[in-house]
Chain A
Amino acid sequence: MSIQIIIEKCTGCSLCVKACPFGAIKIADKKAVIDLNKCNLCGACVPACKFKAILLEKPVRPSAKINVGDYKGIWVFAEQKQGKVQSVVFELLGKARELAKLLGTDVSAVLLGHNMDAEAAELIWRGADNVYLVDDRQLFNFQDDVYTNILVHLVQKHKPEIVLCGATTIGRSLISRVAVRINAGLTADCTGLDIDPQKKILLQTRPAFGGNIMATIITPNHRPQMATVRHKVMKEAAIDKHRKGKIINEDFKAEDLVSRTRLVDIVEEIESLVNLAEADIIVSGGRGMGGPENFKILEKLAQVLGGAVGASRAAVDSGWMPYSHQVGQTGKTVCPKIYIACGISGQIQHLVGMQSSKIIIAINKDPDAPIFKVATYGIVGDLFQVVPALTQKFHEALKK
């Protein structure tokens, strides 16, 4: 198993050099040469070569040879907390319906919880053809072992070809375990999901290297093809109360309910009542806020807009805002409709956490601040004048 250049076909055009994310290819004597110490066998160069001169052999291990045709249908893991299905599930159902149309298959939601009949019905209104419902008192709260056991059991029984899950705390913890248990491929934080029209497989596109480049990933020989998607990346499926579907009650084995860990308590913190990841509008402050007391003006604007307050690492490290509000590489990645950056210079670590927002408004005194490079609307000025003006004008505009 290795990668090689077919010398006869190589024209030395250097397209592969540009495609290599690891800088492992060089042109020497008008031919491409791969430095195997740098090459990660990622395969990005293979489709980049117009002359089919790069050969990457990927043998399938015999034990993994499964009949991919046995796997049918798209599943969405319907994450619930305290009996409430999370909004990311409706976003996944919207996407799942599009994919199901391309594949000519159906969409199922998998719901683990207790007394969830009304929620199961809503999943059908939101696009599920089937809801696999597993009901037990012990499933009311997420537990890593128990949820993994049951989801593994269901996937092995029904063999879906695709499983989608929210990239939430619960989703990421659960689905990583499931994928390893069932020997499936898993791609995290997809921003794009599509179907290859010829091969009928899932094309999973996600940011790599902090969002500067994108990678499209496939799972050719394993099933199901599993992917997680963050909040607000896909469009939420609308409610259609006339939609029909089946609710299928699923059994489980008693031993599947055995958890090695014990959930002692769930603590909700008042300061993070507005979930940053779910907010449609975020008003964020950075070093330019000058101090913790000044965040009040951001709170007022956020209140008028129905949004949440975020902060840059500089503001959090100064102790002005709690860590739960931090947006950026070491904080949260957000994707709201509107992101208003106030007194944030826009270091790359901050940008990777918010640059996929639909509209970015930046307010900063420094006209050369990097935040203006990603801003839809830039305002060079004093945030202590601009923010209160925005609060007032939005208040008036929204009242009308």
Chain B
Amino acid sequence: MNIIVCIKQVPETTEVRINPQTNTLIREGVSSIINPFDAYAIEEGVRLKERFGGKVTVITMGPPQAESALREAISVGCDEGILVSDRAFAGSDTWATSYTLAGAIRNVGKFDLILCGKQASDGDTAQVGPGISVHLDIPQVTYVKKIEEIKDNLARVERMTEEGYDIIEAPLPALFTVVKEINEPRIASLKGMMRSKQAQIIHWSAKDLGLDPDKIGLMGSPTQVVRIFTPPPRAGGQILQGEPSEIAEKLAETLKGEII
């Protein structure tokens, strides 16, 4: 099976802090990690390879430093890393990003399955996975929590819903976005880490992919940010003092109107 996993390098959000004096983001010392949801996609790709044989190619679009995310993916079992990077991609929204990644996947060649995390932790849009599947004109299943079986180019999967899950059959090639429930990502072995250090990362630019310059970066993005601001902090709360039953009574009286 030829499996492609799309990942994104994101800031480790726990470390994003606002400077209260200037109301700006403090980015110094913010380290980058693989989007937590993508770690499940990587693990699932590696598990499928272990079951069915084949190859896992991991792709990311981002600045040159995103190479470290690819190496991390290789350290846990991916075979090959591709960095799609070009100044021309700056300002891409989800439309342009999915177009660009679809172009990179076409450039890889034949594939059976594309795996993505359900969304990225910094943007939270959940739009790029479905976008890629449209650009490549292949079926999608989102929020996959289990790949039950793959037989004769047909995958049977469980899609997580608000109420439970759907069982869906999808012919391959297809694109799945996966949720946390699907697996528990492994930790890199020493051998894996050695291998990832030596791995050659492939670099592709906009030209390498033969992309339409009108459909990438800022120009290919229908949406545009016009303002970024810090939301007013939550109005200061109050600490309630006293015996539990007194506090409870006070709260019940104050809030009963909200409940009915």
Contacts and interface: CB of A to CB of B under 8 A. Distances in A.
A176 interface: yes
Contacts of B229: 213-214, 216
B237 to A, nearest CB: 5
A1 B249 contact: no
Interface stretch (B1-9, B45-53, B66-74, B93-101): B93-101
B194 interface: no
Given A210-B13, A329-B36, A1 B162 contact: no
A254 interface: no
Per DSSP, chain B at the interface is mixed
B166 A266 contact: yes
A362 B90 CA distance: 42
B171 A41 contact: no
Q: Which of B121, B141, B217, B222 has the most CB of A within 10 A?
A: B222
Interface in B146-170: 156, 158-170
A267 B166 contact: yes
Nearest to A323: B181
A51 interface: no
A315 interface: no
Contacts of A47: 226-227
Contacts of A337: 258-259
B139 interface: yes
A226 to B, nearest CB: 9
Interface residues of A, number: 121
Nearest to B245: A389
B108 interface: no
Contact of B244 (A187, A219, A386, A400): A386
A-B CB proximity, top 10 nearest: A185-B222, A41-B91, A61-B214, A176-B130, A44-B228, A389-B248, A397-B252, A269-B164, A188-B125, A393-B248
22 contacts: A1-B219, A17-B24, A23-B27, A42-B91, A58-B219, A58-B224, A172-B126, A176-B134, A185-B93, A185-B95, A209-B25, A212-B16, A214-B228, A215-B228, A217-B223, A260-B171, A269-B164, A349-B13, A359-B258, A377-B240, A385-B244, A398-B260
Given A216-B227, A360-B237, 8 more contacts: A43-B91, A61-B214, A169-B161, A176-B129, A210-B16, A212-B18, A222-B222, A347-B14
Interface of A: 1, 17-23, 36-37, 39-44, 46-47, 58-64, 81, 144-145, 148, 168-170, 172-173, 176-177, 179-181, 183-189, 203-204, 207-222, 260-269, 272-273, 275, 277-278, 280-281, 305-306, 323, 329-331, 337-338, 347-349, 352, 355, 358-361, 367, 372-382, 385-386, 389-390, 392-394, 396-398, 400
